């Protein structure tokens, strides 16, 4: 049985294909069409399908759409229509946009029919798909599931679930406009970034003092006795946030903080605002995690939704609560909704035997050595070699201080590059971080770079109170062992923590071997890892890799079995 899951309604468009309940392929549309987030989040385009991602998934199975048994989309028009009828707040800031958006949704199943699909179509509500993407991809047979993002179909921003076997039950919700996701979007715009720049704000927060604006944020957001939270929504005005072009009414935030929005250089005050936002988020998420643990009695926690990409809040919520185990799906944001919708139909709707875990994030396109060689042949000026010991050769280059674009195996699902579409470097010298941020990635000074660490050595280099697979996906932030600080200058954030990737030989043997060879030479069981891109979506194809390599100051391209260098400068 084939089930095709789709996310297209808002942003982070993606597709996922299950075969008999097992993930076969999954990818985000942005990697193919090279448009960040796949498409613009507009009221008039929820029916814009992730065509290339769908085509990839079907090709992986060697089938056509006519052979798919079920198609499911992460949205529920009936719930959305009910929100409109009741006049409750919605993501669109006027009724005309609401009606346009709702009127476009029925075009989605019609489009699939026109494309040859003859099976059964399912809608799966936004937050249900988020919850399913975490729980049904985990090893847990029961869990507490917490979904935190901006807004779901039903005018709620946060949902609490009890999960057991193949069933998910929502036990509590937090109603929009109280929304942690929207709070981060509003503050991102206030700080001079874009709507999608929560990661920048999270990185900036480590430079600030949260106490300076703690009292102000206490007036903006607070925990409630029922285990949820509330916000001063009349002040925050989330309904005025626009994605294209990004803008928002920040006047209420200005009044609360007593500081005008940033228009020039970053100053300490901006770092302090970011720090206070992170501290408030930690407080709210931990409060909800503790309540959910008491409510469900479960020792296992699943996190999903865009806020679950916040590695600092994840670490606080898990290590400071009574949960013993944690699972966070690598595509916790809306890009993972296609996975969740498909898994929900297989497990919950159809009642089939429980899906196995998703043991890794490598579900995207891969390319044969011959395909890579053919693409390289189109660029005769490049110098291409095939070292007899590829991992050893890459490690030697890293030790020499080279920056390497690493293109191996299947593309990762989710916003983190995990060794298959990565830029890697020597983690020891602080100068490597400056080189990558300024010369290669062309991004801000405060953006941290992550270490990819041999899983068997994580405990020697970091303080980990409770091990979790979330660390495999750069979704946990850990304090570094002070004795090791001198050997990790490029990956150590200003607060002496690291957002790590624990690399396992079983799930990525090539990357594991490269890091092992680097450790043999240096004694350091990690490499610096950042996504292989330059102000663009993470690369997908060999052509993407070559294009980005040629336009940046990356020294070498390690693609398939080949090492590539640029021709000498005349």
Residues taking part in catalysis:
11
Residues 115 and 240: their CA atoms lie apart, in Å, by 37
Distance of CA 194 to the CA centre of its chain: 16
The strand pairing partners of 70, in sequence order, are: 3, 120
State how beta strands 477-479 and 562-565 pair.
unpaired
Instruction: Say what the alpha-carbon torsion angle 347, 353, 355, 356 is, to the nearest 10 degrees.
Output: 160
| Cα–Cα nearest to 161, from 191, 125, 197, 193 | 125
245 Cβ neighbours under 8 A, 6+ residues apart: none
DSSP state, residue 539 = P
Residues 184 and 285: their CA atoms lie apart, in Å, by 14
| Cα–Cα nearest to 306, from 514, 156, 435, 149 | 149
Phi then psi for residue 539, to 5 deg, are -65, 155
| Cα–Cα nearest to 319, from 419, 530, 462, 485 | 462
Write down the residue that tokens 């009221």 correspond to.
43
Phi then psi for residue 228, to 5 deg, are -105, -145
67 Cβ neighbours under 8 A, 6+ residues apart: 2
| Cα–Cα nearest to 270, from 220, 204, 196, 195 | 204
Residues 229 and 352: their CA atoms lie apart, in Å, by 36
Residues 255 and 237: their CA atoms lie apart, in Å, by 13
Residues 129 and 361: their CA atoms lie apart, in Å, by 18
Helix (H, G, I), strand (E, B) or coil at 32: helix
């Amino acid at each position: 049985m084939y089930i095709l899951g789709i996310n297209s309604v808002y942003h982070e468009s993606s597709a996922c294909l299950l075969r008999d309940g097992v993930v076969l392929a999954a990818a985000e549309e942005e990697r193919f069409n090279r448009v960040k987030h796949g498409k613009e989040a507009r009221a008039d385009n929820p029916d814009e399908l992730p065509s290339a991602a769908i085509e990839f998934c079907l090709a992986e199975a060697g089938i056509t759409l006519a052979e798919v048994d079920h198609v499911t989309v992460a949205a529920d028009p009936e719930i959305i229509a009910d929100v409109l009828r009741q006049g409750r707040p919605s993501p669109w800031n006027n009724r005309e946009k609401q009606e346009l958006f709702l009127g476009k949704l029925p075009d989605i199943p019609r489009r699939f029919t026109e494309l040859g699909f003859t099976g059964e179509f399912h809608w799966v509500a936004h937050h249900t798909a988020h919850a399913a993407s975490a729980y049904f991809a985990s090893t847990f047979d029961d869990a507490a599931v917490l979904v935190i993002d901006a807004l779901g179909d039903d005018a709620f921003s946060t949902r609490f679930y009890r999960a057991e076997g193949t069933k998910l039950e929502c036990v509590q919700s937090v109603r929009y406009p109280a929304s942690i996701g929207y709070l981060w979007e509003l503050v991102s715009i206030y700080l001079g970034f874009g709507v999608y720049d929560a990661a920048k704000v999270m990185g900036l927060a480590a430079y600030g003092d949260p106490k300076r604006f703690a009292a102000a944020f206490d007036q903006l957001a607070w925990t409630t006795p029922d285990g949820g939270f509330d916000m001063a929504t009349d002040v925050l005005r989330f309904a005025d946030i626009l994605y294209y072009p990004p803008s928002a009414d920040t006047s209420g935030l200005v009044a609360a903080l007593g500081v005008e929005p940033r228009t020039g250089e970053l100053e300490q005050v901006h770092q302090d605002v970011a720090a206070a936002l992170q501290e408030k988020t930690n407080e709210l998420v931990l409060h909800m995690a503790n309540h959910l643990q008491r409510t469900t009695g479960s020792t296992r926690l699943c996190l999903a939704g865009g806020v679950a990409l916040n590695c600092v809040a994840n670490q606080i919520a898990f290590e400071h609560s009574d949960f013993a185990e944690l699972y966070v799906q690598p595509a916790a944001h809306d890009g993972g909704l296609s996975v969740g919708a498909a898994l929900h139909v297989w497990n919950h709707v159809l009642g089939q035997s429980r899906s196995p875990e998703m043991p890794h994030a490598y579900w995207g396109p891969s390319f044969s050595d011959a395909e890579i060689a053919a693409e390289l042949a189109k660029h005769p000026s490049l110098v291409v070699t095939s070292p007899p010991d590829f991992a050893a050769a890459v490690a030697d280059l890293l030790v020499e201080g080279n920056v390497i674009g690493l293109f191996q195996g299947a593309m990762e699902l989710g916003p983190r590059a995990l060794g298959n579409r990565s830029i890697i470097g020597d983690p020891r010298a602080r100068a490597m971080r400056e080189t990558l941020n300024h010369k290669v990635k062309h991004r801000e000074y405060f953006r941290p770079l992550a270490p990819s660490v041999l899983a068997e050595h994580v405990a020697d280099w970091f303080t980990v109170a409770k091990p979790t697979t979330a660390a495999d996906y750069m979704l946990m932030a850990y304090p570094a062992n002070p004795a090791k600080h001198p050997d990790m200058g490029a990956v150590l954030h200003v607060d002496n923590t690291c957002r790590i990737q624990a690399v396992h030989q079983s799930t990525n043997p090539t990357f594991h071997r490269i890091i092992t060879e680097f450790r043999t030479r240096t004694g350091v069981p990690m490499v610096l890892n950042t996504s292989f891109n330059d102000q663009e979506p993470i690369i997908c194809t060999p052509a993407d890799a070559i294009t980005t390599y040629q336009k940046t100051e990356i020294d070498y391209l390690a693609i398939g079995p080949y090492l590539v260098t640029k021709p000498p400068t005349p």
